[in-house]
Structures are given as structure tokens and as C-alpha cells.
Structure 1
Amino acid sequence: MQEIKPSHDRREYICINVDKVYDWVVKELSFDFSPAGPISFPGVTPPVDFTGAAVTCKVTPSATNPIVILNREDRTFTIEGSRVCLQHLSVQKNFDVTLIVTLPNGTMYTSAAIPVTRCEQVTLCAPKGTDVEITYTDLDCFVCTTGTLTATAGFISFTALSISVSVCQSIQSTFPVTVEFLANYCEPRADLPSSCSPTGRPKQCHGLFPSTNC
């Protein structure tokens, strides 16, 4: 006998709200910077012997305005024989870099966040009204040089500090749209079989109880 599927198994047109991707590029960005002056290191009190100390860093997108679109300019390009209007974007990226100084005895000092700003330009289809979203697929840094370290109350000074930052970024221009398509409704998966464990009982002391004289 042919199985009759319930009505919710049948395909039908449905509408959902999604973000349409107008354009998408992946770019790499590397830059060096050298913070000037003493850097805030809460908890540092002189004197500190920095002989053999290791200096490392961490970089994260700024908590406030990590991405700012400074300018969006229309430009015409010829692509495969056709004239296409694209947008030339000037983008400001804001980062926070933290330094970690580790002494040979294991003592660690962590700096306050060092704000770093870098700007770049990218061309893609991002007409007025679209949102530009940047996702960092990789964001890393390393300390290239430090020079001599000197501690004062709450600060550490470096004579030749240089930090390198490398960025891999996914840049998309998007706009919310409502789309219609033919689809099947999903069914829940079958529940996993389960069974109760048999009731256990402790071992008996045979030969002691019950008594063989009974």
C-alpha cells in the first residue's frame, strides 16, 4: 500500500528574510608600528630586572568602532568589455594591542590596551544603502624588536619597540532582502534508543550466611 505523506511533508513556496551579498573579497594586510613613550603596565614597581625577559603581544578589534567607512566614491570600470559602476571605499580599522612581558622567574606584566588605527582602500560593488561587513579570519601580531626595558611606577619604557600585525579579512557588502523559494519542511530526527541498566546487587558472602547448619 502506498504511504500517504502528511501535508507538512509537501513542498511549498516560503519566504524568508536574508542578507543578499552584493560583493565579497578576501584581502591580506600587514603593518608595523612603534609605540612612543612609556607604556602603561599596571602593577609594575621598580626596580625590575628585565634581563632575559620575553615580550609578546595580542591584538583584537577595538571594542568601539572597530570598522569605520570614511568615504564611498562611485567609480566606473570596464570589466570583460562592459562598463560597471563600483564603489571605492576608504576604510578605517581600529585595533587594541596588548603587550605581555614575562620575566625568567615566570612573573608576568600585562600592559593596558594600546589603540592602533590603520586605513586602507578597497573597491567592490557596495552602492549607497548597503552595509559593509569585515570579518577577520586571522588576526595576529608579534614583537619584532624591544631595545632596552626600563621600569617606573606603573610604566615600562622601550628604547626600540617595533610590533608587526598581520590581518586576513573577509569583506562583504550586504543588504537585507526577502526571498521566495520552493522547499520541503524539515522533520525531526529519530530519538536515540535508550534502555535502563539492570538492577544491581552486592555480592554475598557464601559460606558465612546463610548458615549451612540451618
Structure 2
Amino acid sequence: MQAKHVNGDGELLCINTEKVYDWILNEATFDLTIDDIELPIVNGVQLTCDDIDNVTCEVETNDSEELNREDRPYVIDGTPITLQLVTIQKNFDVTIIINTTAGQSVEAGTFPFTRCEQVILCAPEDTEVNVTYTDVDCFVCVFNCDDVTPGVGTLDVGVTVRLCQSIQSTFPVTLEIFAEFCEPRELLPIVSGCPTPTIPPQCPVIFPNNNGDE
């Protein structure tokens, strides 16, 4: 069956894509306490508390998981609506780094953590909730080193983790649209340096529809 041509060179196409039901940007901050970290051995020499100049951290995120969603009634601009309270489990690894008085940076260990968070979304049954981390950072708020035995110490660290998240509820749909097929562009000359990240143009007139109009 041939494609149906309309009004020029374009044609009606049937495509599979995802409809975005809701989309929020959310910042979450978690405080962690890691106790009794054994000081590592570096080049055959046991680090002691006196060798520590300061302590820093690095964080990496793992897959998130939706644990539960519950319907909650709301009234927005006078219109009753049912939204969902979604509970999300976030998994991440925090690496503790000891910076020594000799100018070395030594990993003291990587520790997995799990934290949960709740958000309100338009996420009806069968939609999928996706979490994308746009920025992840951590810092050491406080640390304390104790000599357990002469020459051997353990480290207690308080860490704050900050996560910037893009959270969407989506559902796969099949759409009929009028479009033209893409063609390859011309090659561009290679230039040095990295471009500054930019945000694509948006369409606030049509999405999101925050005023409840049909």
C-alpha cells in the first residue's frame, strides 16, 4: 500500500512514540552517615589519623525504582482532578576520598545507599515513571578520625548528597502525523573545543497545559 500524499511533498506517516503525561524537575538532598571506615594502606604503609588533611566524596547514581503509587484527589483552579502520589527508590554509591598531608588522594571505600522520595504526578495506571539525573553532587559536612589501636584509625564521615532530577510519566502511543522524510545534512568542518550546552526551543503555548483548558 502506498503512502497517502497530501498538500505537496509531505505525506501522512504512522509513528510510534511516547506521550508525556507529566514532567517535573525536582531537587532532593540526602544526609548520610558512614561510620567506622578503616583507614587504607598506601604503598605498603598504613595511613593514620595524623596523615589526613581533609576528606571529600564522589557520588554515582544507579537505577531508580518505582515502589508504589496511590490516587490522591486534588482541586486545581476549581477543577477536581485525580493525581498520583508516587514513591521512588533511588540507589547510589558514595566514594570517600582521603586527601593526605603528603598531597595524595586515596579512596577509603565505596558505600551503596538507598533513599526513597515521594512526588505528585499525573501518572495514571499503565504509565511509566522515568527518573533522569541532570546533576549529582556531594560534599563532606563533617568527619572524625579515631585511633582504635596505636597507629591504626577509623573514620566517621557525614555526607550530604544533592540530586537534580527530571521525572516524567509516559505511555507509548501510535500517532498519525503529516511530515516529510529527513535527509542527511552536509558535513561540517571539524573544529576544536566543546560547545556550550543549550536547551532546545520550547512550545509553552501548547505544552504543558497548566490552566486546565481543553
Report whether the alignment pairs 1:163 with 2:159: yes
1:114 to 1:182, Cα distance in 2 relative to 1, 3 A: same
State the match for 2:141 in structure 1: 144
Q: Is the 8 A contact 2:57 2:96 kept in 1?
A: yes
Counting strand residues as a fraction of each chain, which structure ranks higher?
2
What is aligned with 1:60? Answer: 60
| Offset of residue 37 of structure 1 | 2.3
User: Residue 149 of structure 1: CA displacement?
Assistant: 5.4
Question: 1:36 is matched with which residue?
Answer: 35
TM-score, length of structure 1 as denominator length: 0.74
Q: Measure, in 2, the Cα distance between the counterparts of 1:42 and 1:51.
A: 12
Aligned equivalents of 1:11, 1:117: Cα separation in 2: 50
- In structure 2, do the counterparts of structure 1 residues 132 and 41 end up closer, same or farther at CA, with 3 Å as the change threshold? farther
Give the number of equivalent residue pairs.
179
CA distance in 1, matches of 2:87, 2:75: 21
1:108 CA drift (Å)? 2.7
Q: 1:184 aligns with which of 165, 176, 180?
A: 180
Q: 1:74 to 1:91 in 2, by over 3 A?
A: same
Partner of 1:12: 11
- In structure 2, runs of 5+ residues without a counterpart are 1-7, 190-214
Q: By how many angstroms is 1:151 displaced?
A: 8.3
* Matched ranges for 1:84-95 at <5 A: 84-95=81-92
Alpha-carbon distance, 1:102 to partner: 1.9
Distance 1:106 1:31 in 2: 30
Q: Does 1:123 align with 2:120?
A: yes
Partners of 1:189 and 1:127 lie apart in 2 by: 40
Q: What TM-score does the superposition give when structure 2 sets the normalisation length? A: 0.74
Is 2:49–2:145's contact at 8 Å kept on the other side of the alignment? Answer: no
Unaligned runs of 5+ in 1: 1-8, 194-214
Name which one, 1 or 2, has greater alpha-carbon Rg: 1
- Equivalent position SS for 1:147: strand
Whether the aligned pair in 2 keeps the contact of 1:50 and 1:149 (CA below 8 Å) is no
What is the distance in 1 between the residues matched to 2:85 and 2:59?
27
Structure 1's 58 and 108: CA in aligned 2 closer, same or farther, altered over 3 A?
same
Give me the CA root mean square deviation.
2.6
> What percentage of aligned pairs have identical amino acids?
44
Query: Does structure 2 retain, via aligned residues, the 8 Å contact 1:42–1:112?
Result: no
2:170 is the counterpart of 1:174: yes
